[in-house]
Amino acid sequence: MVEYRTNPLVSVIIPTYNNAKYIGESIGLVLKQTYRNLEIIVVDDGSTDNTREILDPYIEKKHIKYIYQENRKQGAARNNGIRHSQGELIALLDSDDLWLPEKLELQVPLFVDKEVGIVYAGCIWFNDNDNRIVKTTNFSRFCKGYIFDDLFNSDKCFIPNSSAVIRKSCLEEIDSINGSGPYWEDLSCVSNEDYHFFLRLTHKFKADYVPKHLFRYRLHDANSSKGKIKNLMATIVTIKDISNLYNIPAKRTRMKNSRYFLSIGYNYRKTNKLKALNYYLKSMRNHIRFEHFKLIAALLSSFCLRGLKTVFL
């Protein structure tokens, strides 16, 4: 592993797709970082809006390195950015999120511990329409050290993607999935590739965090995390792949996937009751819990009520 230097170059990787509305503000706040030794790499994942027009001034002033690729989703875009990076540290940033000025200054010193492979931080979720703060990170959920088990057992990834800074040399030591970089590019994992990547990274390296809210996550209609069912399906694919990769006991995997199937069913309960029932049963086949019977009873009672309304109305 590369020795830590007191002022290492940080490569900020920003994948973007049709995000011209927000990317300028995101880049502007990176340029305002109090930690100055950084490079910014923007990977345009085949945008069809005016993203390039917004980026042209930054390109001309050499504030950013611009890379264009055909649309291959965020995992491939991050891999492309990492391949072109020169830094000892890699900082991840989605093109609609906003860093606070002291973010890197507070995170970089934690890499003095040579076993640390990732440093993350807290998040402020805000509504794009009115700038209202919706929620903030609950730091009691954060863990440091060898956190693979905590991360695997969590219902969802508790490492906010745009908070993460990674030691680049660690990426050469974790298992390559597709031969093109550390991120899994399988389309079945889209929207969940960060969780897959963090699990593989923390399986081998320590994690640390700064107990402060160091970036703002913008909630808006185009957020890729809006499709709950799609994300849950991608999480199931992630857990199955990680379980196979690291020989996780089958019972542990089934219990975890049972929760995701249950959540998918719950999300279908109002729009497609047959699908909801199907996923409840899938969940039960993985692991039975009392909650199954409550939800199935509620679903069946709604079927009965609808049938009675058809008969008497």
Domains of the chain, by residue range, sit at 10-226, 249-312
The CATH number of the domain covering residues in 10-226: 3.90.550.10
Angle at 180 between CA 75 and CA 38, to 5 degrees: 65
What value does the CA radius of gyration of the chain take, rounded to a whole number of Å?
Answer: 21
| Amino acid in position 90 | I
Residue 146 φ/ψ region, left for φ over 0, alpha for ψ in the -120 to 50 degree band, beta for the rest: beta
Instruction: State the average pLDDT for the chain.
Output: 91
Please, which pLDDT band fits residue 313 given cuts at 50, 70 and 90?
very low
- What does pTM read for this prediction? 0.91
Counting residues of the chain whose pLDDT is more than 70, the rounded percentage is 92
Cα–Cα distances in angstroms (integers) from residue 244 to residues 119, 232, 248, 277, in the given order: 26, 19, 7, 28
Please, which pLDDT band fits residue 189 given cuts at 50, 70 and 90?
confident
For residue 310, pLDDT beyond 60? no
For residue 215, pLDDT beyond 60? yes
Cβ atoms of residues 9 and 38 within 8 Å: yes
Residue 236: CB atoms within 10 Å: 21
* Most confidently modeled range among 1-15, 49-63, 169-183: 49-63
Kindly report, residue by residue over 107-119, the tens digit of the pLDDT: 999 999 999 999 9
* Residue 271: Cβ-neighbour burial (10 angstroms; 0-12, 13-18, 19+): exposed
Beta bridge partners of 206: 116
Beta strands 116-127 and 206-219, pairing class:
parallel
Kindly report, residue by residue over 249-293, the tens digit of the pLDDT: 999 999 999 999 999 999 998 889 899 999 999 999 999 988 888
Query: Mean pLDDT over residues 1-29, rounded?
Result: 89
Query: Mean pLDDT over residues 205-231, rounded?
Result: 86
Please, which pLDDT band fits residue 309 given cuts at 50, 70 and 90?
very low
